[in-house]
């Protein structure tokens, strides 16, 4: 049988005040400083629409935030236009219409307009790695994805880990 005894120790010493502690964060993170850039990577599914809506809501509540939407085509067509996301709005145009993405692009623009958010849309059907390179090249502070499966239409866990290893917060919308 175990017996517990109280030790005859002296009272604990008072802790140092929190103001005496060294600063843990030497500078404010970008989101706090109001310079957050949100990149939403969405496909044509319902999850993609929910992810874009969530990103629009976040940007709408964050002063000085900017939203870039990367529309990923998971269909059979293979086309990768060159684009520089940091140059401002990217016209998805005829290729989106050709691939049947025009309705989705219109829906995404309407969602952004409804929430009062300026969104820059880009299109990609290249590999997930190229999309992630674009995300990193954009200087994103937050990445929102609407899919993450391991199949052709999903990002899979390795690319998401790659982003998180670089210190990027990743939000996956179910």
Answer for the pair 44, 73: CB distance below 8 angstroms, yes or no. Answer: yes
Domain 31-148+155-172, CATH number (from 2.60.120.620, 3.40.50.620, 3.30.70.360, 3.40.50.1820): 3.40.50.620
Over residues 87-93, mean pLDDT: 36
pLDDT tens track for 115-145: 777 777 666 655 566 567 667 777 788 888 8
Confidence of residue 153 (pLDDT cuts 50, 70, 90): very low
- Contacting residues for 111 by C-beta, under 8 A, at least 6 apart: 49, 52, 53, 56
Structure confidence by residue, pLDDT tens digits, 39-69: 887 776 777 778 888 888 888 888 777 777 7
d(CA 97, CA 109): 15
Q: Which residues contact 63 (CB under 8 A, 6 or more apart)?
A: 34
The residue ranking higher by pLDDT, 115 or 104, is 115
- Closest Cα to residue 109, out of 83, 87, 94, 90? 90
DSSP string, 125-169: -S-HHHHHHHHHHHT-SEEEES---SSTTS--HHHHHHHHHTT--
Task: Assess whether pLDDT exceeds 50 at residue 18.
Answer: no
pLDDT in the model for residue 37: 80
Domain boundaries, the chain: 31-148+155-172
Task: Give me the mean pLDDT over the 152-163 stretch.
Answer: 64
The pLDDT of residue 118: 73
């Amino acid at each position: 049988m175990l017996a517990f005894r109280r030790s005859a120790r002296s009272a604990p010493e008072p802790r140092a005040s929190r103001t005496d502690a060294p600063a843990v964060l030497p500078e404010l993170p970008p989101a706090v400083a109001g310079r957050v850039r949100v990149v939403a990577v969405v496909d044509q599914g319902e999850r993609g629409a929910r992810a874009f809506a969530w990103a629009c809501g976040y940007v709408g509540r964050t002063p000085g935030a900017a939203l870039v939407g990367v529309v990923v085509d998971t269909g059979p067509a293979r086309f990768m236009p060159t684009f520089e996301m940091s140059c401002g709005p990217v016209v998805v145009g005829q290729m989106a219409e050709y691939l049947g993405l025009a309705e989705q692009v219109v829906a995404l623009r309407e969602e952004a307009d409804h929430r009062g958010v300026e969104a820059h849309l880009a299109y990609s059907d290249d590999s997930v790695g190229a999309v992630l390179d674009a995300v990193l090249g954009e200087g994103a502070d937050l990445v929102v994805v609407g899919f993450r499966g391991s199949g052709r239409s999903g990002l899979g866990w390795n690319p998401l880990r790659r982003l998180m290893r670089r210190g990027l917060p990743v939000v996956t919308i179910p």
